[in-house]
Amino acid sequence: MAELTTLARPYAKAAFEIADKSGDLQKWSQMLVLAAAVAQHDGMIKVLSSPALTAEQKSKAFVDVCGDELDEQAINMITTLGENKRLTLLPQIQQLFEVHKAQRERSVDVEVTTAFELSGELQNKLAKALSAKLNREVTLSASVDKTLLGGALVRAGDTVIDGSVRGRLAKLAEAMNS
């Protein structure tokens, strides 16, 4: 996985720079989501792995499936990826693009897992507190995991805040075993 991310990084950066320069971050985000979905479709995986097709034929088939959803610059990127045999990297490129986009927009998606359902008011308070702490606009999504016993587990990008009872008990057991 790390190798695929390494290969995808320059393409994602180039796509982000093009989108940022033209002011079309949202449009590029949508095009990359579509391209990533197409690249993961079973039929397209067969086309991309076919030794009978040339890189140009694979790129053309890919663009044809996407239809009019791609602009000229995105088609050029798909063609370049096809020439370099990198069309299968589109899911990783899309993910890395979204990271660049979130950094530019100073936003972060936060996933909160709790033992019990959070009320809308509590979610809003938590989003405001996290927004102040992270200095970013927070988009909160909440889920329930009964195995946490109590507390919450917060994931914001690479940052994880484990305030769950299960996490605290695990830390206590680790300290006692040391």
pLDDT computed for residue 178 by the predictor: 75
Contact at 8 Å (CB) between 130 and 140?
yes
What percentage of residues in the chain have a pLDDT greater than 70? Answer: 99
pLDDT computed for residue 94 by the predictor: 94
pLDDT confidence bin for 151, thresholds 50/70/90: confident
Region 117-128: mean pLDDT is 90
Domain 2-102 has CATH 1.10.10.10: no
Region 115-140: mean pLDDT is 87
Does the pLDDT of residue 2 top 80, yes or no? no
Mean of the per-residue pLDDT values for the chain? 89
pLDDT confidence bin for 136, thresholds 50/70/90: confident
Does the pLDDT of residue 102 top 90, yes or no? no
Query: What one-character DSSP code corresponds to residue 41?
Result: S
Does the pLDDT of residue 95 top 90, yes or no? yes
pLDDT computed for residue 40 by the predictor: 94
Give the Cα separation of 151 and 164 in Å (integer).
Answer: 4
pLDDT tens-digit readout, 19-61 = 999 888 899 999 999 999 999 999 999 999 999 999 999 999 9
Give the Cα separation of 139 and 155 in Å (integer).
Answer: 12
Which residues partner with 107 through β-bridges?
137
pTM of the model: 0.66
Contact at 8 Å (CB) between 69 and 75?
no
Phi-psi region of 70 (alpha: psi -120 to 50; beta: other; left: phi over 0): beta
Q: What does the domain layout of the chain look like in residue ranges?
A: 2-102, 106-177
What percentage of residues in the chain have a pLDDT greater than 90? Answer: 49
For 12, 63, 164, the CA distances from 68, given in Å and listed in that order, are: 21, 9, 47
